[in-house]
Amino acid sequence: MTICRRMFSTSRSILSHDNPLGLPRSGTPPSFPRRRGLPQKRTIRDVKKVVAVSSAKGGVGKSTVAVNLALAFARRGIKTGILDTDIFGPSIPTLLNLSGEPRLDENNCLVPLTNYGLKSMSMGYLLPQTQSDSPTGEVPMDTTPITWRGLMVTKAMHQLLHSVSWGPLDVLVLDLPPGTGDVQLTINQEVIIDGAVIVTTPQDIALRDAVRGFGMFQRMDVPVLGMVRNMAYFACPNCGHQTRIFSHGEGHQSHCEDHGVVAECKRLGVDFLGDIPLDAQVCEDADRGKPTMVAEENVEKSVRRQAFLDVAEQVANKIGLDWH
């Protein structure tokens, strides 16, 4: 009997979506066997490299960058998967236009859902749909007792990390939720991460959180591959003029050497991986489940797509993927 079969001991309820990961929702909070010391970091089965896309700040474009990065790898023939580690606000099902229950294989491991040549797994595939499904149109409420959240997250994360049947993958991209909380801690403690990509926007307030995220990886001995500056500038669709809307000390006119994302990278000793433009099309592509990397595959000289490709190429080279 494999590890996976033991973990998914309640496979019937997984398939019925009743309680996908066997997480208790009432009664006394669950107790788990006490571990001595910290959990042992290990590799994910069948996965050669793991890259985490992260930022302590919410809404800066982590999922957008993560999915385009993963698609850039996949479109280059690199066997790639993406794991949505945002338990409470999964984005990957929308970004990849995927839904429905994952099958269980003969070892009771979850079989990833695939689109555009990219394998994916997300809590969003496992939990009951909570949006406008209600016949009364009621807005659903998360009734999970707050004190349980940490435990549930830890258990769900553990299973998402170790009970998915990825098949051989060259790289698995982890789309992290915002913050430096339970999910980040569990992942950092349980899995060997080959590198972290930190996404930020140009504003001071986002950059401060990005630096906080950098500190977390440093403390966890995870190499930081570099920072991506998302929404770096707005390119006018008519004349192409670039405006640094969120600029702080980095604008064309007010360029300030010791300020902003590039300067912060220098200070921290990490690489600046590049700019992604603020572009309505990037958002539209994401919303309709066809990220820019795929949507503009046949568009000649797509600045948006090229921006993602440039970041992907650097990441690939840094972790030793075969980028050609």
Ligand X SMILES: Nc1ncnc2c1ncn2[C@@H]1O[C@H](COP(=O)(O)OP(=O)(O)OP(=O)(O)O)[C@@H](O)[C@H]1O
Give the interface with Mg ion as residue ranges (CB under 5 A): 62-63, 91
Residue 276 contact, options Mg ion, ligand X, none, Cβ 5-8 Å cut-off depending on partner type: ligand X
Q: Cα–Cα distance between 101 and 2 in angstroms, integer?
A: 22
Closer CB to ligand X, 80 or 230, in the complex: 230
- Cα–Cα distances (Å) from 133 to 60, 136, 138, 140, 151, in that order, read 29, 9, 9, 9, 28
- Please identify which residue in 61, 112, 124, 226 interacts with ligand X, judged by CB under 6 A: 61
- Cα–Cα distances (Å) from 192 to 7, 11, 45, 55, in that order, read 20, 28, 11, 18
Residue 145 contact, options Mg ion, ligand X, none, Cβ 5-8 Å cut-off depending on partner type: none
User: Per CB under 6 A, which of residues 208..237 are in contact with ligand X?
Assistant: 230-231
Closer CB to Mg ion, 14 or 87, in the complex: 87
As given in the structure block, the two tokens for residue 113 are 């859902």
What is the size of the binding site for ligand X (CB under 6 A)? 20
Residue 180 contact, options Mg ion, ligand X, none, Cβ 5-8 Å cut-off depending on partner type: none
Residue 231 contact, options ligand X, Mg ion, none, Cβ 5-8 Å cut-off depending on partner type: ligand X
Q: Which of 226, 238, 303, 235 is nearest to 266 (CA)?
A: 226
Q: Cα–Cα distance between 27 and 30 in angstroms, integer?
A: 9
Neighbours of 197 (CB within 10 A): 27
Binding mask 153-192 for ligand X (x = CB under 6 A): ------------------------xx--------------
- Cα–Cα distances (Å) from 88 to 28, 63, 126, 138, in that order, read 22, 14, 12, 19
Closer CB to ligand X, 55 or 188, in the complex: 55
Least distance CB 224 / ligand X (angstroms): 17
Least distance CB 118 / ligand X (angstroms): 16
Least distance CB 89 / ligand X (angstroms): 6
89 binds ligand X (CB under 6 A): yes
Report the relative pairing of strands 47-54 and 169-175 from DSSP bridges.
parallel
Each residue of 198-225: b (16+ CB within 10 Å) or e?
A: bbbbbbeebbebbbebbebbeebebebb
Least distance CB 278 / ligand X (angstroms): 5
Binding stretches for ligand X (CB under 6 A): 58-64, 86, 89, 91, 177-178, 230-231, 276, 278-279, 282-283, 286
